[in-house]
Amino acid sequence: MDQEYFDKLAQTVIDGDSEECVRLVKDGIQQRMNPLDAIEKGLARGIMKVGDDFGAGVVFLPELIMAADVMKKGTELLDEQIASSGLKREALGKMVIGTVKGDIHDIGKSVVASVLQANGYDVVDIGIDVEIEAFIKAVKENNADCLGMSTLLTLPLQVMGEVIDKMKEEGLRDRVKVIVGGCPVTEEFASEIGADAVGFDAADAVKKVGVLLGN
């Protein structure tokens, strides 16, 4: 697909036009475009523009919510596409992933979960606003090899460190790797809280998890 297509896709998010978004995404799927390109070169650029305008006080929460709904409709179709593109093979490892307590952003976390799944990991997505105890429970119940935590907000960042501390208390930290991600998460912060890696986007997360689990 060309730049004009990705620009149009970004514009549907900015305009809050879900009908046109779904039409364009279906069209792209039919033409066998790379679904991750549609997210990163198209939809994510649109939501970033709305997010920047929201941060600058140019647009307000209802417009941000509308834009996010359009983005979500588009990514849901693309996530299905990403998941079904994964080759059926023995799982490379078991992952639990979620957005930490205090944060309801789920688009980026879900994209990361789908891309990991498509790349051969068995992924259990435990959702958004996840309590510390719920992370621990999910890691234990699923016998996970790796825990992924996401946040886009600054305040809940500290929760990531609290989950890691709890994992230590429960004796889980020696055998379970931890990757963190989301726009406020830096390498420095990740090492401060004792995470094993930080993922900057979905492809980076796959690369880092691969290194952590020796794949």
Residues that bind ligand B1M (CB under 6 A): 44, 47-48, 50-52, 54-55, 61, 64-65, 68, 72, 97, 102-109, 111-112, 148-150, 152-154, 179-184, 199, 201-202, 205
Q: Pick the closer one to ligand B1M by CB: 56 or 88.
A: 56
Q: Pick the closer one to ligand B1M by CB: 41 or 105.
A: 105
Of 69, 61, 138, 54, the closest CA to residue 98 belongs to 138
Q: Pick the closer one to ligand B1M by CB: 88 or 153.
A: 153
Helices (H), the chain: 3-15, 18-30, 35-37, 44-55, 61-85, 107-118, 132-142, 157-169, 187-193, 202-212
CB of residue 56 to ligand B1M, shortest distance in Å? 8
Q: What DSSP letter does each residue of 31-45 carry, written as one string?
A: TT--HHHIIIIIIHH
CB of residue 10 to ligand B1M, shortest distance in Å? 11
| Contact assessment for residue 191 and residue 178, using Cβ atoms and an 8 Å cutoff | no
CB of residue 28 to ligand B1M, shortest distance in Å? 17
| Contact assessment for residue 167 and residue 136, using Cβ atoms and an 8 Å cutoff | yes
Q: Pick the closer one to ligand B1M by CB: 48 or 91.
A: 48
CB of residue 91 to ligand B1M, shortest distance in Å? 17
